[in-house]
């Protein structure tokens, strides 16, 4: 009859028109659907279980039926997973299909992970105008076919690793939830202070260079400096003084401290005593040591009794003046003797090299000639030939 089973803007017009044109039909016979098509999109629900996992029962059930149906098919068939699933599901789906079909993955069939980002109420508009369409598969043939299918959409198509495609929906929606909660907590604070929260957030999103941008979305070490810790603490104090509970804002510093612990544990678990630190200031391109997570790390390692050598081309005690010199003299005078201007000397005297900031002159290739453990906190992107290399969260 050409009528949709859901209410969604414009979907009724599309289904009616394409049904009239003979381009779309519905059936409850899964085998008929498989045998008469080249591609199957799995769009079943994956509700949460009581313990927070996803219930993939419906996915695996339909995959089993697809596998049984493919027994009778000789043509190459593509199974596209649109449902939100756990990383690793693509691989399991392939195994199930092989088991029930007797077919061989990437010869007789292929599995593509293609997460959907359609919002209810604007799904049609979102489909035709996606920010990006992700497709992940271990079959180049399937990827090329899917790229051709999506070729007319108004947005880029990105071929990605299968597990990247499987997890990106979680990342997107968790960040969206974070944005909403962040805005609500800011709103609560502004209301208490008699400030128009909507105008404040309008001002906030005007900054497209830092606030709404790729900046800071780089997994690595903890943040530091004189601004972020101070202003975050100040905002949390304002909330506290006004008897407001701000769980998200309050948890930021806890999470940042945890990342410092991750780095410390990586270093101490090597069991080695001589540690070389590349970068001491709170970020590259500055000599500011105030609230530097690298300084905090060094202090903690010294407390463990480890031998520390430090190289930072921007931190030279004889050249420091003003606030930075005062800070060293007052808070960390014992670190001065650990700082060397000789990069090679620091490397050669250390068993473990910890990279806390990037330096254009220090490339991954430099470390190839040294047989040292490398603990990378900033993603220097080494080649696969670099031995004993460990990234903090990659």
Where in the sequence numbering do the catalytic residues fall? 227
Q: How many residues does the chain have?
A: 394
Side-by-side strand order, sheet with 157-160: 39-42, 77-81, 109-113, 133-136, 157-160
Nearest to 157 by CA among 179, 130, 184: 130
Q: Read off the tokens for 222.
A: 């903890």
- DSSP assigned state of 105: B
Nearest to 330 by CA among 281, 290, 301: 290
The backbone torsions φ and ψ at residue 46, rounded to the nearest 5 degrees and listed phi first, read: -130, 75
Nearest to 172 by CA among 84, 235, 247: 84
Query: To 10 degrees, the CA torsion angle through 203, 209, 213, 216?
Result: -110
Q: Read off the tokens for 369.
A: 């000639």
Pairing of strands 39-42, 389-391: unpaired
What is each CA distance from 304 to 170, 265, 348, in whole angstroms?
Answer: 38, 12, 21
Residues 6+ apart with CB under 8 A from 263: 221, 222, 297, 354, 375, 377, 392
Q: Residues of 68-95 as b/e, b for ≥16 C-beta within 10 angstroms? A: bbbeebeebbbbbbbbbbbeebbebbbe
């Amino acid at each position: 009859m050409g009528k949709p089973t859901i209410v969604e803007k414009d979907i009724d017009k599309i289904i009616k028109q394409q049904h009239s044109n003979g381009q779309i039909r519905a059936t409850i016979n899964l085998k008929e659907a498989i045998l008469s098509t080249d591609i199957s999109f799995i769009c079943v629900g994956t509700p949460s279980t009581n313990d927070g996992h996803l219930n993939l029962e419906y996915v695996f059930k339909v995959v089993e039926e697809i596998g049984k149906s493919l027994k009778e098919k000789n043509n190459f068939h593509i199974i596209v997973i649109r449902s939100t699933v756990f990383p690793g599901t693509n691989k399991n789906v392939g195994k199930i299909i092989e088991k029930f079909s007797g077919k061989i993955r990437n010869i007789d069939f292929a599995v593509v992970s293609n997460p959907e980002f359609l919002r209810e109420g604007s799904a049609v508009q979102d489909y035709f105008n996606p920010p990006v369409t992700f497709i992940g598969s271990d079959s180049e043939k399937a990827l090329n076919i899917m790229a051709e299918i999506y070729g007319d959409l108004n947005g880029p198509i990105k071929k990605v690793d299968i597990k990247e495609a499987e997890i990106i929906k979680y990342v997107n929606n968790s960040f969206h939830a974070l944005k909403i909660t962040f805005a609500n907590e800011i709103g609560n604070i502004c209301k208490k202070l008699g400030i128009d929260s909507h105008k404040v957030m309008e001002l906030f999103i005007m900054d497209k260079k830092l606030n709404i941008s790729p900046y800071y979305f780089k997994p690595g070490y903890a943040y530091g400096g004189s601004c972020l810790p101070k202003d975050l603490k100040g905002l949390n104090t304002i909330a506290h003084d006004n008897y407001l509970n701000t769980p998200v804002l309050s948890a930021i510093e806890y999470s940042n401290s945890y990342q410092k612990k991750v780095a410390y544990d990586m270093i101490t678990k090597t069991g080695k005593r001589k540690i070389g630190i590349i970068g001491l200031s709170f970020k590259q391109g500055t000599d500011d040591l105030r609230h530097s997570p690298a300084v905090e790390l060094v202090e903690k390692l010294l407390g463990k009794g480890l031998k520390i050598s430090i190289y930072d081309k921007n931190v030279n005690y004889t050249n420091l003046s003003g606030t930075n010199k005062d800070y060293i003299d007052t808070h960390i005078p014992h670190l001065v003797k650990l700082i060397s201007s000789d990069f090679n000397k620091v490397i050669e005297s250390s068993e473990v090299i910890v990279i806390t900031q990037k330096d254009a002159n220090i490339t991954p290739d430099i470390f190839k000639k040294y047989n040292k453990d490398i603990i990378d906190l900033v993603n220097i992107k080494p080649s696969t030939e670099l031995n004993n290399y460990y990234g903090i969260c990659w």
